[in-house]
Amino acid sequence: MRAIRFSFIHMLRFVRKDMMLLAAGLSPFLIGIAMHLGIPFIDRQLTLFTGLQNVMVPYFGLFDILYTAITPVMFCFVAAMVMLEEHDDHIDRYLFITELGRGGYFVSRLMIPGIIAFLVTLILLPIFGLSKLSAVDILFLSLTGTLQGIVITLLVVSLSTNKLEGMALTKMSSLIMLGAIAPYFIPRPYGYLLSFMPSFWTGMMITENSPMFVIPAIIVSAVWMYILWKRFETKIR
Amino acid sequence: MIQVKNLTFSYTKKPFIQDMNFEVEEGEIFGFLGPSGAGKSTLQKILLGMLPGYQGSAVVGGVECSKHDAEFYQDIGVDFEYSTMYEKLTAKENLEFFSSLYDTSGKTDGAQGGKKKRDLDELFAAVGLENDAEKRVSDYSKGMKSRLNFIKALVHEPKLLFLDEPTSGLDPANSRLMKDMILEEKRKGKTILLTTHNMQDAAELCDRVAFIVGGQIYALDTPHNLIMSKGAAKVTYTWLDDEMIEHSASCDLLELSQDKRLKNLIAENRLQSIHSSEPTLNDIFIEITGRTLV
Protein backbone atom coordinates (compact mmCIF):
# COMPACT_ATOMS: atom_id res chain seq x y z
CA MET A 1 0.00 0.00 0.00
CA ARG A 2 2.87 2.32 0.82
CA ALA A 3 4.34 2.05 -2.69
CA ILE A 4 0.90 2.55 -4.28
CA ARG A 5 0.30 5.65 -2.14
CA PHE A 6 3.67 7.17 -3.06
CA SER A 7 3.21 6.27 -6.71
CA PHE A 8 -0.17 8.02 -6.83
CA ILE A 9 1.12 11.09 -4.95
CA HIS A 10 4.02 11.19 -7.38
CA MET A 11 1.57 11.21 -10.30
CA LEU A 12 -0.24 14.19 -8.77
CA ARG A 13 3.06 16.08 -8.37
CA PHE A 14 3.96 15.20 -11.93
CA VAL A 15 0.59 16.50 -13.20
CA ARG A 16 1.07 19.73 -11.22
CA LYS A 17 4.20 20.41 -13.27
CA ASP A 18 2.39 19.88 -16.58
CA MET A 19 -0.01 22.73 -17.37
CA MET A 20 -1.93 20.78 -20.01
CA LEU A 21 -2.63 17.87 -17.66
CA LEU A 22 -3.44 20.24 -14.80
CA ALA A 23 -5.98 22.03 -17.01
CA ALA A 24 -7.49 18.68 -18.05
CA GLY A 25 -7.83 17.69 -14.39
CA LEU A 26 -9.64 20.93 -13.54
CA SER A 27 -11.82 20.93 -16.65
CA PRO A 28 -14.79 18.97 -15.15
CA PHE A 29 -15.39 21.89 -12.78
CA LEU A 30 -15.21 24.46 -15.58
CA ILE A 31 -17.37 22.34 -17.91
CA GLY A 32 -19.87 21.84 -15.06
CA ILE A 33 -20.19 25.59 -14.49
CA ALA A 34 -20.44 26.27 -18.24
CA MET A 35 -23.09 23.58 -18.68
CA HIS A 36 -25.13 24.51 -15.62
CA LEU A 37 -25.29 28.19 -16.56
CA GLY A 38 -24.90 28.02 -20.33
CA ILE A 39 -27.42 25.38 -21.47
CA PRO A 40 -30.49 26.86 -19.67
CA PHE A 41 -29.40 30.29 -20.94
CA ILE A 42 -29.22 29.00 -24.53
CA ASP A 43 -32.61 27.32 -24.01
CA ARG A 44 -34.13 30.66 -22.90
CA GLN A 45 -32.59 32.47 -25.86
CA LEU A 46 -33.94 29.85 -28.29
CA THR A 47 -37.39 30.21 -26.73
CA LEU A 48 -37.09 33.98 -27.16
CA PHE A 49 -36.07 33.75 -30.83
CA THR A 50 -38.26 30.85 -31.98
CA GLY A 51 -41.26 31.24 -29.72
CA LEU A 52 -41.11 27.51 -29.02
CA GLN A 53 -41.15 26.32 -25.41
CA ASN A 54 -38.46 24.11 -23.84
CA VAL A 55 -36.41 23.55 -26.99
CA MET A 56 -33.54 21.90 -25.13
CA VAL A 57 -35.25 20.68 -21.97
CA PRO A 58 -36.00 17.16 -23.37
CA TYR A 59 -32.28 16.74 -23.86
CA PHE A 60 -31.14 17.86 -20.41
CA GLY A 61 -30.79 14.18 -19.47
CA LEU A 62 -28.45 13.68 -22.44
CA PHE A 63 -26.32 16.63 -21.30
CA ASP A 64 -26.12 15.03 -17.86
CA ILE A 65 -25.02 11.72 -19.37
CA LEU A 66 -22.31 13.45 -21.38
CA TYR A 67 -21.20 15.37 -18.31
CA THR A 68 -20.90 12.17 -16.25
CA ALA A 69 -18.82 10.74 -19.07
CA ILE A 70 -16.58 13.79 -19.49
CA THR A 71 -15.49 13.99 -15.85
CA PRO A 72 -13.99 10.47 -15.70
CA VAL A 73 -12.64 10.80 -19.24
CA MET A 74 -10.71 13.92 -18.26
CA PHE A 75 -9.36 12.31 -15.10
CA CYS A 76 -8.47 9.14 -16.96
CA PHE A 77 -6.98 11.18 -19.83
CA VAL A 78 -4.55 12.66 -17.31
CA ALA A 79 -3.66 9.16 -16.07
CA ALA A 80 -3.31 7.87 -19.65
CA MET A 81 -0.92 10.70 -20.58
CA VAL A 82 1.21 10.02 -17.51
CA MET A 83 1.26 6.30 -18.36
CA LEU A 84 2.25 7.00 -21.97
CA GLU A 85 5.03 9.33 -20.88
CA GLU A 86 6.23 6.64 -18.47
CA HIS A 87 6.12 4.14 -21.32
CA ASP A 88 8.03 6.49 -23.65
CA ASP A 89 10.75 6.89 -21.01
CA HIS A 90 10.81 3.12 -20.11
CA ILE A 91 9.77 4.03 -16.57
CA ASP A 92 6.74 1.71 -16.42
CA ARG A 93 8.91 -1.36 -16.90
CA TYR A 94 11.20 -0.15 -14.16
CA LEU A 95 8.29 0.45 -11.80
CA PHE A 96 7.09 -3.12 -12.40
CA ILE A 97 10.30 -4.40 -10.83
CA THR A 98 10.10 -2.26 -7.72
CA GLU A 99 7.99 -3.03 -4.68
CA LEU A 100 5.16 -1.23 -6.50
CA GLY A 101 4.96 -4.10 -9.00
CA ARG A 102 2.75 -4.40 -12.05
CA GLY A 103 -0.46 -4.66 -10.03
CA GLY A 104 0.41 -1.70 -7.81
CA TYR A 105 1.25 0.36 -10.86
CA PHE A 106 -2.19 -0.17 -12.38
CA VAL A 107 -3.92 0.45 -9.09
CA SER A 108 -2.11 3.79 -8.75
CA ARG A 109 -2.59 4.79 -12.39
CA LEU A 110 -6.04 3.40 -13.23
CA MET A 111 -8.01 2.31 -10.19
CA ILE A 112 -7.35 5.25 -7.85
CA PRO A 113 -8.00 7.88 -10.58
CA GLY A 114 -11.13 5.88 -11.49
CA ILE A 115 -12.37 5.86 -7.89
CA ILE A 116 -11.65 9.58 -7.55
CA ALA A 117 -13.42 10.27 -10.86
CA PHE A 118 -16.41 8.30 -9.58
CA LEU A 119 -16.54 10.26 -6.31
CA VAL A 120 -16.04 13.61 -8.07
CA THR A 121 -18.84 12.80 -10.54
CA LEU A 122 -21.03 11.73 -7.65
CA ILE A 123 -20.46 15.13 -6.02
CA LEU A 124 -20.52 17.32 -9.14
CA LEU A 125 -23.55 15.84 -10.91
CA PRO A 126 -26.10 16.94 -8.26
CA ILE A 127 -24.47 20.40 -8.31
CA PHE A 128 -24.20 20.94 -12.06
CA GLY A 129 -26.80 18.45 -13.39
CA LEU A 130 -29.67 19.85 -15.48
CA SER A 131 -32.36 17.17 -15.23
CA LYS A 132 -34.10 15.79 -12.18
CA LEU A 133 -32.17 12.65 -11.37
CA SER A 134 -32.84 10.19 -8.58
CA ALA A 135 -30.04 9.13 -6.21
CA VAL A 136 -29.95 5.76 -8.02
CA ASP A 137 -29.61 7.51 -11.40
CA ILE A 138 -26.74 9.65 -10.09
CA LEU A 139 -25.01 6.60 -8.64
CA PHE A 140 -25.35 4.53 -11.81
CA LEU A 141 -24.47 7.42 -14.15
CA SER A 142 -21.29 8.04 -12.12
CA LEU A 143 -20.47 4.34 -12.19
CA THR A 144 -20.99 3.83 -15.93
CA GLY A 145 -19.18 7.11 -16.70
CA THR A 146 -16.19 5.94 -14.65
CA LEU A 147 -16.10 2.54 -16.35
CA GLN A 148 -16.22 4.28 -19.70
CA GLY A 149 -13.34 6.54 -18.63
CA ILE A 150 -11.26 3.46 -17.77
CA VAL A 151 -12.16 1.88 -21.14
CA ILE A 152 -10.95 5.02 -22.95
CA THR A 153 -7.73 5.06 -20.89
CA LEU A 154 -7.02 1.44 -21.78
CA LEU A 155 -7.86 2.10 -25.41
CA VAL A 156 -5.38 5.00 -25.49
CA VAL A 157 -2.53 3.30 -23.64
CA SER A 158 -2.87 -0.02 -25.45
CA LEU A 159 -3.16 1.29 -29.01
CA SER A 160 -0.84 4.29 -29.06
CA THR A 161 2.91 3.98 -29.12
CA ASN A 162 3.73 7.41 -27.71
CA LYS A 163 2.20 10.44 -26.00
CA LEU A 164 1.54 12.29 -29.24
CA GLU A 165 -0.40 9.38 -30.71
CA GLY A 166 -2.17 9.04 -27.38
CA MET A 167 -3.48 12.60 -27.52
CA ALA A 168 -4.84 12.05 -31.03
CA LEU A 169 -6.38 8.73 -30.04
CA THR A 170 -8.03 10.24 -26.96
CA LYS A 171 -9.95 12.62 -29.23
CA MET A 172 -11.06 9.73 -31.43
CA SER A 173 -11.88 7.36 -28.60
CA SER A 174 -14.03 9.99 -26.93
CA LEU A 175 -16.50 9.24 -29.73
CA ILE A 176 -17.43 6.22 -27.60
CA MET A 177 -19.38 8.69 -25.47
CA LEU A 178 -21.64 9.44 -28.41
CA GLY A 179 -23.38 6.08 -28.07
CA ALA A 180 -25.60 7.86 -25.52
CA ILE A 181 -27.14 9.91 -28.35
CA ALA A 182 -28.58 6.84 -30.13
CA PRO A 183 -31.58 6.21 -27.79
CA TYR A 184 -32.56 9.89 -28.20
CA PHE A 185 -32.28 10.24 -31.97
CA ILE A 186 -32.01 6.85 -33.68
CA PRO A 187 -35.18 4.75 -33.88
CA ARG A 188 -34.98 1.17 -32.69
CA PRO A 189 -33.96 -1.41 -33.79
CA TYR A 190 -31.33 0.62 -35.72
CA GLY A 191 -30.10 2.24 -32.50
CA TYR A 192 -28.94 -1.18 -31.30
CA LEU A 193 -26.14 -0.99 -33.88
CA LEU A 194 -24.37 1.14 -31.28
CA SER A 195 -25.04 -1.29 -28.44
CA PHE A 196 -21.34 -2.23 -28.34
CA MET A 197 -20.75 1.19 -26.77
CA PRO A 198 -21.25 1.30 -22.99
CA SER A 199 -22.70 4.81 -23.32
CA PHE A 200 -25.58 3.45 -25.46
CA TRP A 201 -26.88 1.58 -22.43
CA THR A 202 -26.44 4.64 -20.23
CA GLY A 203 -28.62 6.54 -22.71
CA MET A 204 -31.18 3.72 -22.52
CA MET A 205 -31.11 3.94 -18.74
CA ILE A 206 -32.24 7.57 -18.84
CA THR A 207 -34.60 7.50 -21.83
CA GLU A 208 -36.36 4.34 -20.63
CA ASN A 209 -36.13 5.49 -17.02
CA SER A 210 -34.92 2.02 -16.07
CA PRO A 211 -31.87 1.53 -13.84
CA MET A 212 -31.72 -2.10 -15.03
CA PHE A 213 -29.83 -0.93 -18.14
CA VAL A 214 -26.82 -0.41 -15.90
CA ILE A 215 -26.25 -4.19 -16.15
CA PRO A 216 -25.55 -4.31 -19.93
CA ALA A 217 -23.52 -1.08 -19.53
CA ILE A 218 -21.28 -2.82 -16.98
CA ILE A 219 -21.06 -6.02 -19.06
CA VAL A 220 -20.12 -4.17 -22.27
CA SER A 221 -17.54 -2.09 -20.34
CA ALA A 222 -16.09 -5.25 -18.79
CA VAL A 223 -15.71 -6.91 -22.22
CA TRP A 224 -13.94 -3.82 -23.58
CA MET A 225 -11.68 -3.70 -20.52
CA TYR A 226 -10.75 -7.38 -20.82
CA ILE A 227 -9.88 -7.14 -24.53
CA LEU A 228 -7.90 -3.91 -24.11
CA TRP A 229 -6.15 -5.18 -20.99
CA LYS A 230 -4.94 -8.27 -22.87
CA ARG A 231 -3.64 -6.05 -25.65
CA PHE A 232 -1.92 -3.75 -23.19
CA GLU A 233 -0.29 -6.71 -21.42
CA THR A 234 1.20 -7.80 -24.74
CA LYS A 235 2.46 -4.27 -25.36
CA ILE A 236 4.29 -3.97 -22.04
CA ARG A 237 5.77 -7.49 -22.01
CA MET B 1 21.50 -16.71 -4.63
CA ILE B 2 20.31 -17.84 -8.09
CA GLN B 3 19.57 -21.38 -9.30
CA VAL B 4 18.45 -21.99 -12.87
CA LYS B 5 17.55 -25.55 -13.88
CA ASN B 6 16.40 -26.78 -17.30
CA LEU B 7 15.10 -23.31 -18.14
CA THR B 8 13.28 -23.06 -21.46
CA PHE B 9 11.32 -20.07 -22.71
CA SER B 10 9.71 -19.12 -25.96
CA TYR B 11 7.97 -16.04 -27.33
CA THR B 12 6.66 -18.06 -30.27
CA LYS B 13 6.52 -21.81 -30.96
CA LYS B 14 10.29 -21.88 -31.44
CA PRO B 15 12.29 -22.04 -28.17
CA PHE B 16 14.23 -18.86 -27.46
CA ILE B 17 15.96 -19.95 -24.25
CA GLN B 18 16.86 -23.62 -24.39
CA ASP B 19 17.51 -25.91 -21.43
CA MET B 20 19.67 -23.46 -19.52
CA ASN B 21 21.38 -24.48 -16.28
CA PHE B 22 23.56 -22.41 -13.96
CA GLU B 23 23.93 -21.20 -10.40
CA VAL B 24 25.19 -17.90 -9.04
CA GLU B 25 26.71 -17.83 -5.57
CA GLU B 26 26.09 -15.07 -3.05
CA GLY B 27 28.67 -12.29 -3.32
CA GLU B 28 29.69 -13.27 -6.83
CA ILE B 29 29.91 -11.11 -9.94
CA PHE B 30 28.49 -13.23 -12.73
CA GLY B 31 28.69 -12.07 -16.33
CA PHE B 32 26.36 -12.85 -19.22
CA LEU B 33 28.23 -12.38 -22.48
CA GLY B 34 26.66 -12.68 -25.88
CA PRO B 35 25.77 -10.84 -29.06
CA SER B 36 22.50 -8.94 -29.52
CA GLY B 37 19.53 -11.28 -29.68
CA ALA B 38 21.39 -14.05 -27.82
CA GLY B 39 18.78 -14.19 -25.05
CA LYS B 40 20.55 -12.18 -22.35
CA SER B 41 17.73 -9.65 -21.89
CA THR B 42 15.08 -12.39 -21.96
CA LEU B 43 17.01 -14.31 -19.31
CA GLN B 44 17.24 -11.13 -17.23
CA LYS B 45 13.49 -10.58 -17.59
CA ILE B 46 12.80 -14.15 -16.45
CA LEU B 47 15.03 -13.72 -13.40
CA LEU B 48 13.26 -10.43 -12.62
CA GLY B 49 9.89 -12.18 -12.71
CA MET B 50 8.74 -10.25 -15.78
CA LEU B 51 8.19 -13.34 -17.97
CA PRO B 52 6.46 -15.97 -15.84
CA GLY B 53 5.56 -18.33 -18.70
CA TYR B 54 8.77 -20.38 -18.70
CA GLN B 55 9.44 -24.07 -18.24
CA GLY B 56 11.94 -25.46 -15.78
CA SER B 57 12.99 -23.60 -12.69
CA ALA B 58 14.47 -20.14 -12.02
CA VAL B 59 14.93 -19.41 -8.33
CA VAL B 60 16.20 -16.03 -7.09
CA GLY B 61 16.81 -15.54 -3.38
CA GLY B 62 14.84 -18.69 -2.62
CA VAL B 63 11.78 -17.55 -4.61
CA GLU B 64 10.60 -19.12 -7.87
CA CYS B 65 10.54 -16.17 -10.27
CA SER B 66 7.10 -16.98 -11.70
CA LYS B 67 5.53 -17.00 -8.22
CA HIS B 68 6.97 -13.91 -6.62
CA ASP B 69 5.20 -11.21 -4.64
CA ALA B 70 6.04 -7.49 -4.38
CA GLU B 71 8.54 -8.14 -1.56
CA PHE B 72 10.65 -10.08 -4.06
CA TYR B 73 11.91 -6.73 -5.37
CA GLN B 74 12.98 -5.45 -1.97
CA ASP B 75 16.43 -6.98 -2.44
CA ILE B 76 16.80 -6.46 -6.18
CA GLY B 77 18.31 -3.42 -7.86
CA VAL B 78 18.33 -3.04 -11.63
CA ASP B 79 20.38 -0.77 -13.86
CA PHE B 80 19.00 -1.03 -17.38
CA GLU B 81 21.15 0.01 -20.32
CA TYR B 82 18.68 2.76 -21.19
CA SER B 83 17.58 5.64 -18.97
CA THR B 84 14.50 4.96 -16.85
CA MET B 85 14.08 8.44 -15.39
CA TYR B 86 11.41 11.13 -15.49
CA GLU B 87 13.06 13.57 -17.87
CA LYS B 88 11.03 16.54 -16.62
CA LEU B 89 12.04 16.02 -13.00
CA THR B 90 15.38 16.71 -11.37
CA ALA B 91 17.77 13.88 -10.64
CA LYS B 92 17.13 14.23 -6.92
CA GLU B 93 13.33 14.21 -7.35
CA ASN B 94 13.73 11.02 -9.38
CA LEU B 95 15.82 9.25 -6.77
CA GLU B 96 13.57 10.43 -3.94
CA PHE B 97 10.56 8.99 -5.73
CA PHE B 98 12.12 5.64 -6.58
CA SER B 99 13.53 5.38 -3.08
CA SER B 100 10.06 6.00 -1.61
CA LEU B 101 8.72 2.88 -3.35
CA TYR B 102 10.75 0.59 -1.08
CA ASP B 103 9.79 -0.15 2.48
CA THR B 104 13.12 -0.55 4.24
CA SER B 105 11.79 -0.17 7.77
CA GLY B 106 12.36 -3.88 8.37
CA LYS B 107 15.95 -3.86 7.17
CA THR B 108 18.73 -3.51 9.71
CA ASP B 109 22.24 -2.41 9.11
CA GLY B 110 24.18 -5.27 10.69
CA ALA B 111 25.42 -4.62 14.20
CA GLN B 112 24.49 -0.97 14.09
CA GLY B 113 20.80 -1.72 13.57
CA GLY B 114 18.24 0.83 12.43
CA LYS B 115 16.88 1.67 9.01
CA LYS B 116 18.96 0.95 5.99
CA LYS B 117 18.61 3.19 2.97
CA ARG B 118 21.38 4.84 1.03
CA ASP B 119 22.03 8.52 1.59
CA LEU B 120 21.21 10.19 -1.73
CA ASP B 121 23.80 12.96 -1.37
CA GLU B 122 26.49 10.34 -0.79
CA LEU B 123 25.39 8.42 -3.87
CA PHE B 124 25.42 11.57 -6.02
CA ALA B 125 28.92 12.38 -4.73
CA ALA B 126 30.14 8.82 -5.37
CA VAL B 127 29.48 9.18 -9.11
CA GLY B 128 30.52 12.83 -9.37
CA LEU B 129 26.99 14.23 -9.74
CA GLU B 130 26.85 16.15 -6.45
CA ASN B 131 26.62 19.48 -8.28
CA ASP B 132 24.00 18.25 -10.75
CA ALA B 133 21.45 16.70 -8.39
CA GLU B 134 19.03 19.61 -8.79
CA LYS B 135 19.26 19.62 -12.60
CA ARG B 136 16.45 18.20 -14.71
CA VAL B 137 17.34 14.80 -16.15
CA SER B 138 16.57 16.08 -19.65
CA ASP B 139 19.61 18.36 -19.27
CA TYR B 140 21.91 15.42 -18.46
CA SER B 141 24.40 13.96 -20.96
CA LYS B 142 24.27 10.25 -21.82
CA GLY B 143 27.16 9.50 -19.47
CA MET B 144 25.51 11.40 -16.61
CA LYS B 145 22.28 9.48 -17.17
CA SER B 146 24.22 6.19 -17.05
CA ARG B 147 25.74 7.14 -13.70
CA LEU B 148 22.36 8.29 -12.36
CA ASN B 149 20.73 5.06 -13.52
CA PHE B 150 23.39 3.10 -11.68
CA ILE B 151 22.94 4.85 -8.32
CA LYS B 152 19.17 4.54 -8.69
CA ALA B 153 19.65 0.76 -8.49
CA LEU B 154 21.42 1.22 -5.14
CA VAL B 155 19.01 3.52 -3.28
CA HIS B 156 17.28 0.71 -1.35
CA GLU B 157 20.50 -1.20 -0.62
CA PRO B 158 19.56 -4.38 -2.51
CA LYS B 159 21.40 -7.68 -2.08
CA LEU B 160 21.25 -8.54 -5.78
CA LEU B 161 22.15 -6.16 -8.61
CA PHE B 162 21.33 -6.60 -12.28
CA LEU B 163 23.61 -4.37 -14.34
CA ASP B 164 23.06 -4.08 -18.09
CA GLU B 165 26.05 -2.54 -19.89
CA PRO B 166 26.89 -0.31 -16.91
CA THR B 167 29.91 1.33 -18.59
CA SER B 168 28.19 1.96 -21.92
CA GLY B 169 28.54 5.58 -23.05
CA LEU B 170 31.04 6.47 -20.34
CA ASP B 171 34.43 8.11 -20.89
CA PRO B 172 37.47 6.15 -19.61
CA ALA B 173 37.62 8.08 -16.31
CA ASN B 174 33.95 7.55 -15.48
CA SER B 175 34.11 3.96 -16.73
CA ARG B 176 36.92 3.37 -14.21
CA LEU B 177 34.87 5.07 -11.50
CA MET B 178 31.86 2.89 -12.30
CA LYS B 179 33.92 -0.31 -12.27
CA ASP B 180 35.43 0.63 -8.92
CA MET B 181 31.93 1.21 -7.54
CA ILE B 182 30.81 -2.20 -8.82
CA LEU B 183 33.78 -3.85 -7.11
CA GLU B 184 33.01 -1.89 -3.94
CA GLU B 185 29.43 -3.23 -3.97
CA LYS B 186 30.84 -6.75 -4.37
CA ARG B 187 33.10 -6.15 -1.36
CA LYS B 188 29.99 -5.22 0.61
CA GLY B 189 28.65 -8.69 -0.17
CA LYS B 190 26.26 -7.95 -3.03
CA THR B 191 25.65 -10.49 -5.76
CA ILE B 192 25.95 -8.88 -9.18
CA LEU B 193 24.70 -10.07 -12.55
CA LEU B 194 26.45 -8.19 -15.30
CA THR B 195 25.27 -8.21 -18.90
CA THR B 196 27.79 -6.81 -21.31
CA HIS B 197 29.38 -6.84 -24.74
CA ASN B 198 32.57 -5.46 -23.25
CA MET B 199 34.98 -8.37 -22.78
CA GLN B 200 37.54 -6.21 -21.04
CA ASP B 201 34.98 -5.21 -18.40
CA ALA B 202 33.87 -8.82 -18.03
CA ALA B 203 37.41 -10.11 -17.62
CA GLU B 204 38.18 -7.42 -15.08
CA LEU B 205 34.99 -7.54 -13.02
CA CYS B 206 33.48 -11.01 -13.24
CA ASP B 207 34.26 -13.99 -11.04
CA ARG B 208 32.58 -16.19 -13.64
CA VAL B 209 31.11 -15.61 -17.07
CA ALA B 210 28.62 -17.46 -19.26
CA PHE B 211 28.83 -17.25 -23.05
CA ILE B 212 25.28 -17.11 -24.41
CA VAL B 213 24.38 -17.51 -28.08
CA GLY B 214 21.03 -18.53 -29.53
CA GLY B 215 19.47 -18.93 -26.09
CA GLN B 216 22.06 -21.50 -25.00
CA ILE B 217 25.06 -21.37 -22.69
CA TYR B 218 28.14 -22.41 -24.68
CA ALA B 219 30.65 -22.07 -21.86
CA LEU B 220 30.66 -21.12 -18.19
CA ASP B 221 33.78 -20.63 -16.08
CA THR B 222 36.10 -18.01 -14.67
CA PRO B 223 37.56 -15.69 -17.32
CA HIS B 224 41.05 -17.00 -16.45
CA ASN B 225 40.08 -20.66 -16.86
CA LEU B 226 38.33 -19.97 -20.14
CA ILE B 227 41.38 -18.23 -21.50
CA MET B 228 43.76 -20.90 -20.27
CA SER B 229 41.67 -23.89 -21.32
CA LYS B 230 41.25 -22.84 -24.91
CA GLY B 231 44.37 -21.02 -25.84
CA ALA B 232 47.88 -21.49 -24.43
CA ALA B 233 50.02 -18.41 -24.06
CA LYS B 234 52.41 -17.86 -26.97
CA VAL B 235 55.94 -16.53 -26.99
CA THR B 236 57.00 -14.42 -29.95
CA TYR B 237 60.62 -13.44 -30.57
CA THR B 238 62.61 -11.56 -33.20
CA TRP B 239 66.23 -11.62 -34.33
CA LEU B 240 68.49 -10.22 -37.06
CA ASP B 241 70.24 -12.40 -39.65
CA ASP B 242 73.72 -11.79 -41.05
CA GLU B 243 72.35 -9.31 -43.58
CA MET B 244 70.65 -7.38 -40.73
CA ILE B 245 67.16 -8.39 -41.84
CA GLU B 246 64.69 -8.89 -38.99
CA HIS B 247 62.81 -12.19 -38.62
CA SER B 248 60.22 -13.33 -36.14
CA ALA B 249 58.90 -16.66 -34.88
CA SER B 250 56.61 -17.87 -32.15
CA CYS B 251 55.94 -21.00 -30.14
CA ASP B 252 53.61 -22.12 -27.35
CA LEU B 253 54.81 -21.19 -23.88
CA LEU B 254 54.59 -24.84 -22.80
CA GLU B 255 56.94 -25.93 -25.64
CA LEU B 256 59.46 -23.18 -25.12
CA SER B 257 62.23 -25.48 -23.91
CA GLN B 258 61.97 -27.55 -27.11
CA ASP B 259 62.48 -24.60 -29.45
CA LYS B 260 66.07 -25.17 -30.66
CA ARG B 261 66.21 -21.97 -32.68
CA LEU B 262 65.31 -19.91 -29.65
CA LYS B 263 67.94 -21.76 -27.59
CA ASN B 264 70.60 -20.98 -30.20
CA LEU B 265 69.57 -17.33 -30.47
CA ILE B 266 69.81 -16.98 -26.69
CA ALA B 267 73.19 -18.71 -26.69
CA GLU B 268 74.45 -16.44 -29.49
CA ASN B 269 72.89 -13.41 -27.83
CA ARG B 270 71.13 -12.44 -31.04
CA LEU B 271 67.57 -11.91 -29.79
CA GLN B 272 66.15 -8.50 -30.65
CA SER B 273 62.89 -8.90 -28.67
CA ILE B 274 60.86 -11.53 -26.87
CA HIS B 275 57.36 -11.30 -25.42
CA SER B 276 54.50 -13.53 -24.37
CA SER B 277 50.84 -13.00 -25.25
CA GLU B 278 47.62 -14.61 -24.04
CA PRO B 279 44.40 -14.82 -26.06
CA THR B 280 41.72 -12.41 -24.91
CA LEU B 281 38.27 -13.39 -23.66
CA ASN B 282 36.96 -12.07 -26.96
CA ASP B 283 39.21 -14.54 -28.88
CA ILE B 284 37.91 -17.35 -26.70
CA PHE B 285 34.31 -16.28 -27.24
CA ILE B 286 34.78 -16.38 -31.01
CA GLU B 287 36.57 -19.73 -30.82
CA ILE B 288 33.87 -21.36 -28.68
CA THR B 289 30.72 -19.88 -30.17
CA GLY B 290 31.84 -19.07 -33.70
CA ARG B 291 30.23 -15.65 -33.23
CA THR B 292 31.47 -12.14 -32.62
CA LEU B 293 30.00 -9.93 -29.92
CA VAL B 294 28.07 -7.54 -32.15
Phi, psi angle pair for B77, to nearest 5°: -120, 135
Task: Name residues whose C-beta falls within 8 Å of residue A125's C-beta, 6 or more positions apart in sequence.
Answer: A64, A67, A68, A133, A138, A141, A142
- pLDDT band (50, 70, 90) for residue B104: low
pLDDT beyond 60 at B143: yes
Q: What is the pLDDT of residues A10-30, one digit of tens each?
A: 998 888 888 888 888 888 899
Q: Flag the least confident range among A186-190, B80-84, B254-258, B288-292.
A: B288-292
User: Is A17 in contact with B88 (Cβ distance < 8 A)?
Assistant: yes
Shortest CB distance from A89 goes to which of B70, B74, B86? B86
**Which of B100, B146, B163 is the best mutation test for A, with the most CBs of A within 10 A?**
B100
pLDDT given for residue B113 in this prediction? 42
Mean pLDDT of A29-58: 89
Mean pLDDT of chain A: 89
The answer on pLDDT for B57 being more than 90 is yes
pTM: 0.80
Interface test with A, best of B97, B146, B151, B162 (most A CBs within 10 A): B97
Model confidence pLDDT, tens digit, residues A152-175: 999 999 998 888 888 888 888 878
Task: Kindly state whether A95 is in contact with chain B, defined as any CB-CB distance less than 8 angstroms.
Answer: yes
Tell me whether residue B184 is exposed, middle or buried, using C-beta atoms within 10 angstroms of its C-beta: 0 to 12, 13 to 18, 19 or more: exposed
Boundaries of every domain in chain A: 2-175
Which of 13-72 (A) contact B at CB < 8 A?
A: 14, 17-18
* Cβ pairs bridging A and B (under 8 Å): 66
Cross-chain CB nearest to B70 (options A89, A93, A99): A99
**Residue B294 pLDDT level (bands cut at 50, 70, 90):** low
A14–B84 CB contact, under 8 Å: no
Q: What is the pLDDT of residue B110?
A: 43
Specify the 3-state DSSP secondary structure of A212.
helix
Mean pLDDT of chain B: 87
| Predicted complex: ipTM over 0.95 | no
